[in-house]
Amino acid sequence: MLEQLNNLPKLKKIIKIMQGLIFKTLLNRFYFFIKLAVVFVFMLFASELNAQNKLKTVVIDAGHGGRDPGAVGAKSLEKDIALAIALKLGHYIETLIPDVEIIYTRKTDEFVQLKERAEIANRNKADLMISIHANSVKTSTVYGTSTYVMGLGKSDDNLFVALQENSALRFEENVKERYNEFKGDTMPSHIINSLIQTKNLEYSLVFAKLIQDQFRTRVGRKDLGIRQDNLVVLWYTTMPSVLVETGFISNSKEERYLMSAQGQDFLASAIFRAFRDYKNKYDTGNLAFKTGKVVKYNPVDIVFHVQIRSSVKPINLKSKEFKGLLGVKELRYGGRYNYIVGHEYEMSKVLIKQKQVRAKIPDAYIVATKNGKIISVSEAKKIILEN
């Protein structure tokens, strides 16, 4: 007992150490659970983040409809072709990628306002919008496919109504009030967030390239490239969106193709494959996308150049006669060797180019080519105006 009493301080010490150990163990356990909880929350967050990055909802928008026929061909209406391809595309996605939700802006021959189409996509928080159309110009020889992405440039009232795919507005009421903000410098609020807008445009360009690649390589359609324009239906959407021009109903051969069940199947399956590829990239976070480049062109393939020299004998392109101008090209016509610079699709742009060139070569003048062949400038202007 005495011995024990003597050992009391020792005992107290031991108890203290043991208490400390228990406390430490408990604390360690506590930390362990905290860590576990943090990992758990993080995993939850990560899976949520991952789920957010999956392409879950797509809006398929068949252009025009109801009282708005769209382009009018000899035998067909754009609205019917657009709806047929849109439904076929939806069917492919539904069957082959069933976890994607498909929302149609219309499934029947009905009129839907342009802004409402975009709002359907916005309301449903769609990850992608595909608008399907067919094209038409006055020159019946023009054919091919193109895909539009949203333009970021300024627009004015003229452009607003001039663009063919905005022409559906003619069938709407109170257009001025409802589309008031549709002018380049007074952007709708969602566009002000330029980071999101840039990302959406980048993604749209990726998808546009996949579509055009499919059209060209798998379906054998003429590739008229990716275009950028201020189209209402793309303008108001808050997600990546494209407008596909599946062909020209003003060209009789292409109209037949667009009207045929097989042609519609081929076009829809091409857009489907592009969609599948895009979704795979999107879902795996493969952001190293190869984006499509916007190619500017006018559908009638007319280009303006500045001619700097004409000669009966060929001249070396590096000759001092060209005053160090870059990109000099030789064009043979009228039995002569002609030398040109510049490659512009608009008269206003080639006039600027001419001004620059004239600083070095004062008598430089404007020439025009159609499909690479020389035509008169007045004829070129006339063709562009007619289309």
**Site residues (vs Zn ion, CB under 5 A):** 63, 70, 133, 165
| Contacts of 121 by beta carbon, 8 Å cutoff, 6+ apart | 59, 61, 103, 105, 129, 237, 238, 239, 241
For residue 172, the minimal CB distance to Zn ion (Å) is 14
Instruction: Closer to Zn ion by CB, 70 or 299: give it.
Output: 70
Cα dihedral 270, 272, 278, 282, rounded to 10, equals 180
Instruction: Closer to Zn ion by CB, 110 or 277: give it.
Output: 110
Query: Tokens 């899976």 correspond to what residue?
Result: 47
For residue 146, the minimal CB distance to Zn ion (Å) is 12
Instruction: Closer to Zn ion by CB, 77 or 303: give it.
Output: 77
Instruction: Closer to Zn ion by CB, 165 or 344: give it.
Output: 165
For residue 378, the minimal CB distance to Zn ion (Å) is 31
Instruction: Closer to Zn ion by CB, 63 or 90: give it.
Output: 63
For residue 250, the minimal CB distance to Zn ion (Å) is 12
Q: Give the CB-nearest residue to Zn ion.
A: 133
Q: In what order do the strands lie in the sheet with 128-135?
A: 101-104, 57-62, 128-135, 241-248, 145-150, 223-229
φ, ψ of residue 200 to 5 degrees: the values are: -60, -40
3-state helix, strand, coil in the chain (%, to 5): 50, 20, 30
For residue 321, the minimal CB distance to Zn ion (Å) is 49
* Inter-residue contact 201 to 150 (CB < 8 Å): yes
Instruction: Closer to Zn ion by CB, 63 or 225: give it.
Output: 63
For residue 323, the minimal CB distance to Zn ion (Å) is 46
Query: Tokens 């011995």 correspond to what residue?
Result: 3
Distance in angstroms (rounded) separating the CA atoms of residues 253 and 140: 10
